[in-house]
Amino acid sequence: MSATAWIELIASGLITGGIYALVALGLNLQYGLMRILNIAHGEFLMLGAYLTWAATTLLGLSPLVMLPLSFGVMFGVGVVVHRLCFKRLTETSLTLDIFEARGLMVSFGLMFLVQNLVSMVWGGDLRGYDYLTDPVHFGSMQFAANKLLVFALALLFSAGLIALLKFTLLGKGVRALMQSPTGAQLVGIDTKRLHPLMFGIGLGLSALAGCLLSMTYTIAPAMGEPYTVTALIVITLGGFGSMGGALAGGLLLGVVEALGMHFTSPSLKMLLSYGVFIAVLLLRPKGLFTRKTRDA
Amino acid sequence: MPERKVLWRDLLVLAALTGWALALPHYASEFVASLALTCFMYIALASSWALFCGLSRYLSLATSAFFGIGAYTSALALEHMPWLHAVALGALLAAAVALLMGAAVLHLRGTYFAVLTFGMTELIRHALSYFEKQVSGTVGRVLTIVPERNTVYLTVLALAVLALATSIAVRRSRFGLALAGIGSDEQRAQTLGVGTRSVKTAGFALTAAFAGAVGAAMAVRWTYIDPPTVFNPFIGFQTVLIALIGGATTLWGPLIAAIVFSLLAETLRLQLPQLYMMALGVLLILCVLHLPGGVASLRWSTFAAWWRDTRQWWRERREEDTEQERKARRQRDRETRNV
Amino acid sequence: MSDVAGPLLEARHVTVRFGGLIAVDDISASFGAGELVGIIGPNGAGKTTFFNALSGVMVPTAGRLLARGRDLTGARPHRYARHGIARTFQTPRVFAEMTLAENVRFGLRFAGRRRRAETWGPAWLAAWIDRVGAPWPWRRRPGVSWLLRNELSILNVIGLAHLADMPAAAVTPSQQRLLEIGMALATRPRILLLDEVAAGLTESELQDMAQLIRRVRDELDITVVWIEHAVTTLLRHVERVLVLHQGRMIADGTPAEVVRNAEVIEAYLGDEMVEEGVA
Q: What is the pLDDT of residues A213-225, one digit of tens each?
A: 888 888 888 888 8
Contact B122, A225 (CB under 8 A): yes
Sheet with C62-67, side-by-side order of all strands: C21-31, C9-18, C62-67, C70-71
pLDDT of B162: 94
Q: Residue C59 is nearest to which of A94, A291, A294, comparing CB atoms?
A: A294
- Domain over C1-84+191-279 is classified CATH 1.25.10.10: no
Residue A229: other Cβ atoms inside 10 A: 23
Q: Which residues fall within 8 angstroms of residue B103, CB to CB, at 6 or more apart?
A: B201
CATH classification of the domain holding B241:
1.10.3470
pLDDT of A155: 85
- Dihedral over alpha carbons B125, A271, A219, A51 (to 10 degrees): 110
pLDDT of C137: 55
The domain ranges of chain C are 1-84+191-279, 97-189
pLDDT of B202: 94
Bridge partner residues of C30 (DSSP): C10
Chain-centre distance for alpha carbon B139: 29
| Chain B: residue whose CA lies nearest to A87 | B289
pLDDT of C126: 65
**B139-163 burial code (b ≥16 CB/10 A, e <16):** eebebeebbeeeebbbbbbbbbbeb
Q: Best interface-test mutation with B: which of A274, A278, A282, A283 has the largest number of B CBs within 10 A? A: A274
Chain A residues whose C-beta is within 8 A of a chain C C-beta are: 94-95, 291, 293-296
Of C30, C83, C1, C93, nearest in space to C242 by CA: C30
pLDDT of B180: 93
In the predicted structure, residue A293 carries a pLDDT above the cut 50: no
**Is the same domain home to B96 and B77?**
yes
Of A44, A93, A115, nearest in space to A73 by CA: A44
Query: Which residues of chain C have a CB within 8 Å of the CB of A94?
Result: 96, 169
Q: Residue A296 is nearest to which of C20, C56, C96, comparing CB atoms?
A: C56
How close B174 comes to chain C (CA, Å)? 7
The C-alpha atoms of residue B95 and residue B65 are separated, in whole angstroms, by 11
Q: Residue B190 is nearest to which of C77, C95, C184, comparing CB atoms?
A: C77
The C-alpha atoms of residue B240 and residue B282 are separated, in whole angstroms, by 14
Contact A116, B274 (CB under 8 A): yes
pLDDT of B207: 95
Query: Which residues of chain C have a CB within 8 Å of the CB of B178?
Result: 110
Question: Going by DSSP bridges, is the β-strand pair B224-225/C9-18 parallel, antiparallel, or unpaired?
Answer: unpaired
Contact B118 A116 (CB under 8 A): no
**Is the same domain home to B197 and B332?**
no
Interface contact B309, partner C, CB < 8 A: no
Query: Which residues of chain A have a CB within 8 Å of the CB of B104?
Result: 278, 281-282
How close C136 comes to chain B (CA, Å)? 23
Interface contact A277, partner B, CB < 8 A: yes
Query: Which residues of chain B have a CB within 8 Å of the CB of C89?
Result: 188
Bridge partner residues of A104 (DSSP): none
Contact A267 B126 (CB under 8 A): yes
Contact A101 B111 (CB under 8 A): yes
Query: Which residues of chain A have a CB within 8 Å of the CB of B239?
Result: none
pLDDT of C141: 54
pLDDT of A286: 66
pLDDT band at A29 (very low <50, low <70, confident <90, very high): confident
Residue A93: other Cβ atoms inside 10 A: 16
Tens digits of pLDDT across chain C (279 residues): 444 567 889 999 999 988 778 889 899 999 988 899 999 888 777 888 999 999 999 899 999 999 888 899 988 899 999 888 999 998 888 998 889 999 999 998 888 877 666 555 666 776 676 667 666 555 455 567 778 878 888 999 998 989 888 899 899 988 999 999 999 999 989 899 999 888 878 888 888 888 999 998 888 888 999 998 878 888 888 999 999 888 888 889 898 888 888 888 777 655 455 545 554
Contact B71, B90 (CB under 8 A): yes
In the predicted structure, residue A294 carries a pLDDT above the cut 60: no
Contact B191 C97 (CB under 8 A): no
- Read off the pLDDT of each residue in A237-242 and give the average, rounded to a whole number: 78
| Chain B: residue whose CA lies nearest to A272 | B123
Contact C59 A295 (CB under 8 A): yes
The C-alpha atoms of residue A152 and residue A154 are separated, in whole angstroms, by 6
How close A54 comes to chain C (CA, Å)? 50
pTM, two decimal places: 0.84
Domain that includes residue B331, residue range: 299-339
In the predicted structure, residue A120 carries a pLDDT above the cut 60: yes
pLDDT average per 10 residues of sequence, chain B (339 residues): 74 83 78 87 94 90 93 87 89 94 78 80 82 79 79 90 92 92 90 90 95 93 84 88 88 90 80 81 86 75 78 81 80 78
Architecture, CATH, for domain A3-283: Orthogonal Bundle (1.10)
Query: Which residues of chain B have a CB within 8 Å of the CB of C99?
Result: none
User: Dmax of chain C from CA atoms?
Assistant: 61
Write the DSSP string, C12-39.
EEEEEEETTEEEEEEEEEEE-TT-EEEE
Whole-number average pLDDT of chain A: 81
Cα-Cα end-to-end distance for chain A: 45
In the predicted structure, residue A295 carries a pLDDT above the cut 50: no
The C-alpha atoms of residue B210 and residue B45 are separated, in whole angstroms, by 7
Q: Is B337 helix (H, G, I), strand (E, B) or coil?
A: helix
The C-alpha atoms of residue A19 and residue B257 are separated, in whole angstroms, by 40
The C-alpha atoms of residue C240 and residue A4 are separated, in whole angstroms, by 73
Contact B184 C112 (CB under 8 A): no
CB pairs under 8 A between B and C: 66
pLDDT of A61: 77
Q: Residue C78 is nearest to which of B177, B180, B195, comparing CB atoms?
A: B195
The C-alpha atoms of residue B192 and residue B257 are separated, in whole angstroms, by 35
Write the DSSP string, B15-45.
HHHHHHHHHHHHHS-HHHHHHHHHHHHHHHH
Q: Residue C107 is nearest to which of B178, B180, B192, comparing CB atoms?
A: B192
The C-alpha atoms of residue B118 and residue B237 are separated, in whole angstroms, by 9
Bridge partner residues of B224 (DSSP): B142
pLDDT of C135: 60
**Is the same domain home to B132 and B217?**
yes
Q: Which residues fall within 8 angstroms of residue C82, CB to CB, at 6 or more apart?
A: B193, C111, C114
Chains that touch C (3 or more CB pairs under 8 A): A, B
Contact C19 A295 (CB under 8 A): no
Query: Which residues of chain C have a CB within 8 Å of the CB of B177?
Result: 106, 109
pLDDT of C111: 84
pLDDT band at A296 (very low <50, low <70, confident <90, very high): very low
Cα-Cα end-to-end distance for chain B: 79
Q: Residue C111 is nearest to which of B174, B192, B197, comparing CB atoms?
A: B192
Contact B282 A236 (CB under 8 A): no
- H/E element holding B9? helix B2-27
Q: Residue C59 is nearest to which of A94, A95, A296, comparing CB atoms?
A: A296
Of C155, C163, C73, nearest in space to C106 by CA: C155
**CB interface of A with B, residues 106-145, below 8 Å:** 106, 108-113, 115-117, 119-120
Whole-number average pLDDT of chain B: 85
The domain ranges of chain A are 3-283
Contact A281 B292 (CB under 8 A): no
